[in-house]
Structure 1
Amino acid sequence: MIAFILVPGVFTGPYVWDDTASRLTAAGAEVHAVSLTGLDGTRASTGEDIDLETHIADVLAVIDPVAGSAGREIVLVGHDYGIHPVLGAADRRAESVARIVYLDSGLPQDGVPALAAVADQGLREEVLRVAGGRARGSGAVLPPPARDAWQLWGSTAGVPDTALDRLTALASPQPLGTLLQPMELTGAAATVPMAGVLCTGGGASIAMVQARVDFGEPALQALTDPRVTFFELPTGHWPMLSDPTALADTLLEAAAGRGHRLTPAGAAQPEPFLLDVPELPRERTGNVDLYLPPSAQGPRPALLFVHGGPVPREARPTPRDWPVLTGYARYAADNGVVGVTLDHCLHAVTDYEPAADDVAAAVERVRADPRVDADRVALWFFSGSGPLTADWIGKPPPWLRCLAADYPIMAPLPSWGRLDSRFHPADAVAHAGSLPLVLVRAGLETDGIAATVEEFLTAAHESGADIEVIDVPNGHHGFETVDRTDESREAVHRAMRTVLRHLTT
């Protein structure tokens, strides 16, 4: 028999698993929802002497009697913060655990506290403020969020109002020692098969994890082990509340070892650009590459392609050498304008300000080139560079003839935390004036990213912005690489024709 041991996340107790547990039980599984000390939803904790070790002990107290029963295959499931006590317990009972399921959680590392997994910088600062410099919190607690603040801890997409009311009513203060005590791992848990369940309502996807693996992130290379599988759920961060049936079905699939497996970095050669464009030489200066028209006469308009991210600092090749971007730049140059690719420093979601500075500096370097018509420049953004568009949309300079964006992320995803208001394109678009905007929308976009695009388009239409939407109905995020179809090719052609029309007239 499969025995699921379900461990909840921050502020929550075993009650969050009620509906999922009943469905797993109906399917013939044994289920144990762990009550973490101080987080059972029935009392407020002072946090005194409660730390990560306390919660690891809580999980071990459930594992040991179950492991002592013959014929039980233990599957540990950790949601959110809950993966930290799960991994700590699995590290000490690796021989007793058949599989670990990471439910919309981070990847805890030895020596790193759970606080490091909190994306929102403001929340991290609040935790440290409450701790007041006391080691491991020393009894301090973090109050649970108000009803309208759960979104800061993860997308609440799909959670019914009644469930959100109950979550708020039963939430308990989080003992700070559980967030501040560094994880201590021996590496034994690395031998246990694992599954990752990604909730796309927060913007996560298997494709994005694969991309990060392909970038060469060292910490993620272990995820290509054949014993590691992945699943997606089209809902927010709390699937046990928003879709317990789908979650139960997914957990059963994960327990059986099924799911998507990642490809090791370098296992496949990058796909060439999906259009047949000529090979053109480039000129490289600093972090900027220029692709010049073959027969340029006089200064020519320029089109800069701004890569998405975050991209790990150690990623090789760097974005300006990615086939998609070099293909677009050569396509632009073949049509008589200077195509430009660049590297900027968006290595983490906290890097938008320096990345914006990099892009602005690259633009000025290109405009200063005597072969470029400084009064006719366009910018084309991709994916995670979407927030960078706000600077240009909110105060468009007269020489900016068009701004385009492919499958952009137009607001901070729930897993990112809060971004400075400077990087909110939906707020900036009211000031776009007559700047032509082109947005290429992937019809099969992840729910979380699609929501940011709709927010932006709603604001654009309400403000009367000059925006053209080019849809790729059967396209995914990064469709130029993953959907090499006539539909994708036509979308690229149409977008380029539109941008060039604004740029050259």
Structure 2
Amino acid sequence: MTRFVLVPGLFTGAQVWQETVERLLAAGAKAEVVEVPRQQGAAVDLDAHIAQVVAAIDAGGAGGTPDVVLVGHDYGVFPAVGAADRRADRVARIVYVDAPLVQDGATALATVPDPEVREQLAGQESLPVPDRDEWERWGSTAGLSDAHIDRLTALAAPQPAATLLQPLHLTGAAADLPTTGVLCAESGATIATVRMLVGFGDPALQALARPEVTFFELPTGHWPMLSRPADLAEALLSAAAGGGVSLSAADEPAETPGYLRPFLLDVPEIGPERQGDVDLFLPDADGPRPAVVIVHGGPVPAGMQPAPREWPTLVGYARYAASLGAVGVTLDHRLHDVADYPVAAADLAAAVEQVRADPRVDNSRIALWFFSGSGPMTADWLSAPPPWLRCLAANYPIMAPLASWGLAAGQRRPADVVAQAGALPLLLVRAGLETSAIAATVTEFVAAADAAGAALEIIDVPNGHHSFEGIDRTDESRAVIREAVRRVLGRLDLT
């Protein structure tokens, strides 16, 4: 009989798991929630919580075969993985529920999305319970009713600071255990995005493509044990039986990822002129020409090959612009983690000044075109658009940090500053089949732009997915590319 040992996340205990546990028991499994100690004091650290989970495993007896499925929700995955490392012979599977991937030496501070709170934590004994209206800062509340939020607030307990600051020490004993991720789409994590990140080639993520690793996706926010208890229980039972989607090559046909597929339009093979981290695609034209600066998304691993500025879709847009008389520009910036937006924004600003200083560029006519995860970087340009910026475009952008990201210190949300954009022409290419978490950020931005009277134009791709140019190879996609380029160049007085 499968034994589920459930480890709660930040601030929460057994009560929020009640409905999920009842469904596991009704299905014939054993299930218990570890009530980790939360009293303040230096003694309550990550090791203390790991010991509590180990004790719960041991309480089930010696057992002849691994029978424990360890389930960790957000912070709870740290003590869960720590306990699995110490009792690897008893654990059949580790399940991550809307939780970060953990490794030796990691701290659970990553589960605190607010950077200001992270900075203050070192001087505190505990992390205070959020107020009722603050839960959205700790994860997507999609799917939660008012009663659920009342329940979260009433049952919450402070989190000892040492549990978040002490590094997780692993011997590697549990490294090869079967693992399952239960992804919560409204938090921004989907199987499609994980597949894409694994395809980027980051060595730290290659373990996710092992046959023993599976995934489930729930259409809800960060607390599925409240919003979707039946679906969560079903996913846990299926995970225990080895179910779920695998990303292993053995189960998935080899396929070129969308971002590496050829550009949808036939455009001239204009070669780049490389200048450091910037590539210029120059038109066959006399005199200084306007420029379209293409800004890649992310996060992407450092040193990935081909580099983002070489991706066929981005190069295709730059070549298309050059074929029509503008200087097309691609560049690399250092958005390697969700905490890197300030660094990436500085890289972009430096690259733009480098482009404007080139004598072949008309530095009074520049367009910036943002893609996907570079969307939050639009805030700097919206809040104080320079006179030479003639258009700001964005394809399927993430227009605010997703719920699990938090805001970096000093970072602004585009929706909060779009009112300052004045008459700056804005173009949004919106994917009709966008993931719900990203679509919500776009909806919020559009509402703010409309309320501010911003000069926003929208091109919809009704049957398009995120990164539609590489995924949806249709006449609809081709027509959208042509129309978007026409409008951007029109703002540069080219068409």
For the aligned pair, the TM-score class normalised by the smaller chain equals: over 0.9
Conserved in 2, the CA contact under 8 Å of 1:141 and 1:176? yes
Residue in structure 1 matched with residue 169 of structure 2 by the alignment: 184
Match status 1:175 vs 2:165:
no
Matched residue of 1:61: which SS?
helix
Counterpart pick for 2:392 among 389, 403, 407: 403
Identify which of 85, 106, 109 aligns with 1:91.
85
1:137 is matched with which residue? none
Between 325-334 and 20-29, the greater mean CA deviation after superposition: 20-29
| Matched-pair contact (CA < 8 Å) for 1:342–1:362 | yes
1:81 pairs with 75, 82, 94, which one?
A: 75
Residues 287-326 of structure 1 show CA distances to partners (whole Å, capped at 9, x for unaligned) of 1111112x31322221110111222223222211111111
CA contact under 8 A between 1:214 and 1:266: conserved in structure 2?
no
Paired residues of 1:2 and 1:72 also in contact (CA < 8 A): no
Separation in 1 of the partners of 2:55 and 2:387? 67
Aligned residues: 489
Aligned equivalent of 1:273: 263
Q: Give the Å deviation of 1:408.
A: 0.8
Matches within 5 A, 1:220-259: 220-259=205-244
Could you tell me which amino acid in structure 2 is paired with residue 283 of structure 1?
Answer: E
Matched, 1:60 2:54: yes
Distance 1:274 1:440 in 2: 16
Return the offset for 1:423.
2.8
Give me the whole-angstrom Cα distance separating, in 1, the residues matched to 2:160 and 2:310: 47
**CA 1:181–1:431 in 2, change beyond 3 Å: closer, same or farther?**
closer
Query: 1:21 maps to which residue?
Result: 21
Structure 1 contact 235–447 (Cα < 8 Å) conserved: no
How far apart in 2 are the matches of 1:489 and 1:26?
52
3-state SS in 1 of match to 2:492: helix
Shift of residue 29 of structure 1? 2.3
Counterpart in 2 of 1:283?
Answer: 273
| 1:380, distance to aligned residue in structure 2 (A) | 0.4
Residue 343 of structure 1 pairs with residue 328 of structure 2: no
**TM score, norm. by length of structure 1:** 0.92
TM-score by length of 2: 0.93
Alignment partner of 1:437 out of 426, 441, 444:
426
* Post-superposition CA distance 1:156-202 (Å, at most 9, x none): 22211111111111111112222222212111111210011111212
Alignment match, 2:32:
32
Q: Deviations over 1:92-133 (max 9, x none)?
A: 221221111111111222122222443432121121121xxx
Decide whether aligned partners of structure 1 residues 55 and 420 sit closer, same or farther in structure 2, where only a CA change above 3 A counts.
closer
- The share of aligned pairs that are identical, in percent, is 62
Partner secondary structure for residue 248 of structure 1: helix
For 1:67 and 1:255, how far apart are their aligned partners in 2? 19
State the secondary structure of the residue aligned to 2:285.
Answer: coil
The residue that corresponds to 2:6 in the other structure is 6
Q: Tell me the distance in 1 between the aligned counterparts of 2:21 and 2:463.
A: 36
Q: What's the CA shift for 1:69?
A: 5.6
Q: Write the letter of the residue equivalent to 1:384.
A: G
Q: 1:155 to 1:247 in 2, by over 3 A?
A: same
Shift of 1:66: 3.0
CA contact (8 A) 2:74 2:111 kept: no
Is the 1:390–1:424 Cα contact (8 Å) retained in structure 2?
Answer: yes
What residue is the counterpart of 2:109 in the other structure?
115
Change (3 A) 1:254 1:297: same
Q: Secondary structure at the match of 1:94?
A: coil
Q: Which moved more, 1:191-200 or 1:148-157?
A: 148-157
Give the CA RMSD over aligned residues: 2.1
Deviations 1:414-445 (A, max 9, x none): 11112355532112211222221111112222
One-letter amino acid of the counterpart of residue 141, structure 2: T
Structure 1 window deviating more from structure 2 (444-453 vs 61-70): it is 61-70
Which segments of 5 or more consecutive residues in structure 1 lack a partner in the other structure? Answer: 39-44, 131-139
Give the match for residue 193 of structure 2.
208
Q: 1:193 to 1:393 in 2, by over 3 A?
A: same
Aligned residues of 1:94 and 1:191 also touching (Cα < 8 A): no
Aligned to 2:370: 381
Cα distance in 2 between the residues matched to 1:155 and 1:438: 28
Question: Paired residue for 2:405?
Answer: 416
Q: For residue 261 of structure 2, what is the amino acid of its counterpart?
A: E
The answer to whether the 8 A contact 2:202-2:304 is kept is yes
Paired with 2:216 and 2:462, the residues of 1 have a C-alpha distance of: 23
Q: CA deviation at 1:278?
A: 2.3
2:447 aligned with 1:453? no
Amino acid at match of 2:32: H
Change (3 A) 1:421 1:490: farther
CA distance in 2, matches of 1:84, 1:23: 25
- Give, in whole Å, the separation in 2 of the partners of 1:113 and 1:429: 36
Contact 2:469 2:477 in 1 (8 A): yes
Structure 1 residues 217 and 119 mapped into 2: Cα distance closer, same or farther (>3 Å)? farther
Question: Which residue does 1:133 correspond to in 2?
Answer: none
Give the match for residue 150 of structure 2.
165
Q: Give 1:50's aligned residue.
A: 44
Structure 2: distance between partners of 1:198 and 1:111: 24
Amino acid at match of 1:81: Y
Residues 303, 230 of structure 1: CA spacing in aligned structure 2 closer, same or farther, 3 A cutoff?
A: same
- 1:312-354 CA-to-partner distances (Å, cap 9, x unmatched) read 2232222111111111111111222111001112222332223
Secondary structure of the residue aligned to 2:28 is coil
Partner secondary structure for residue 431 of structure 1: helix
Counterpart of 1:228 in structure 2: which amino acid? V
